Chain A
Amino acid sequence: MRDAATLDVPLVELVDRLLNRGVVLTGELTISVAGVDLIYLGLSVVLTSVETIREAGAEI
């Protein structure tokens, strides 16, 4: 195994969890996270997160 710090993948994995997983109390506003894409290396994750934000917005 390589040290996690030597790979870019782990940061994407963490960000994915912070933005897409965890408890949501239905009805709250979701703040915008512009700039987060700067730390993504995988575009697909950005798109996933954007979709999540849109879905959350649709519930409001």
Chain B
Amino acid sequence: MTFLLRAIVAAEDGGVAAELGLTAVPASVVVALASPWEAAGPAGEAELLDHHRVVQAVFGRVPCLPARFGSVFADAAALRTRLAAREKDLAAQLARLGHRCELAITCAWRDSGAALPTTSIPAMTGRDYLERGVTRARTQKERQRRADEIVARLLGELAVEPAFIRHRTCPRPAVAVSMSALVTRDEIDEINSRLERLGAQLPDVTTVVQGPWAPYTFAVSE
């Protein structure tokens, strides 16, 4: 029977598997939580969101490291072998991250990036084409500058240890900043309030805070 990896928890928290109907694959100090997986076809939205639901259910009960969606093992022995090889590192990550939550902070341009001229529109003349390119480059540069400013404002407002922040600027046309902050549960309300106040001061973006989630962004693979 094949298994889809859901999360890694400490050995003493392995009992959560039975609570949630998951399969526990133990190593010495950590346990892999997995679900039987039968590949009837390509996975889609339902399976993806179900993975998130399962991970959140685990995370709501015990500290955990969430697994990236799509990790399938031929059987429990294969999973145990891989788990044992990474156990020391996983236990260290779990101790450092497992009790913290990820907040996803997204600042989306209010105009959804529509102001960026697109190169797919055929230019009427060579001059038009070149001018369009110059305008596009200028707009992108201005957006990047503004996104950097917003990051600085967010970092100042969050006041979270730098190791617990990750961000990308302009990852997609509609998005100025995509940031992940690793916080403790008792910090969430205060941080949400601060971000709401900051969001009101940023007229060109809509600020959305999601979470708390399991620490996807901070659980590293190697």
Contact = CB atoms under 8 A, between A and B. Distances in A.
A42 B172 contact: yes
Interface in A1-46: 1-2, 4, 7, 9-10, 12-36, 38-39, 41-42, 44-45
A38 B44 contact: yes
Interface in B157-189: 171-175, 178, 180
A50 interface: no
B23 to A, nearest CB: 15
A26 B48 contact: no
A35 B210 contact: no
A31 B175 contact: no
Given A9-B208, A35-B45, A36-B48, A42 B174 contact: yes
Contacts of B86: 25-26
Contacts of A33: 42-44, 47-48, 69-70
Given A34-B42, A44-B171, A4 B210 contact: yes
B42 A18 contact: no
B208 A1 contact: yes
Contacts of A38: 44-45
Given A34-B42, A39-B45, A25 B206 contact: no
Contacts, number: 152
Given A18-B52, A22-B66, A36-B44, A28 B175 contact: no
A53 B70 contact: yes
Interface in B24-57: 32, 37, 39, 42-45, 47-48, 51-52
B76 to A, nearest CB: 13
Given A9-B175, A22-B67, A23-B90, A14 B43 contact: no
Given A13-B104, A13-B178, A25-B83, A19 B69 contact: yes
Interface residues of A, number: 39
B54 to A, nearest CB: 11
Interface string B186-199: 00000000011001
Nearest to A12: B172
B175 A24 contact: no
Contacts of B116: none
Interface of B: 4-5, 7-8, 32, 37, 39, 42-45, 47-48, 51-52, 65-74, 78-79, 82-83, 85-86, 90, 93, 102, 104, 106, 108, 171-175, 178, 180, 195-196, 199-200, 206-210, 213, 216-217, 219-222
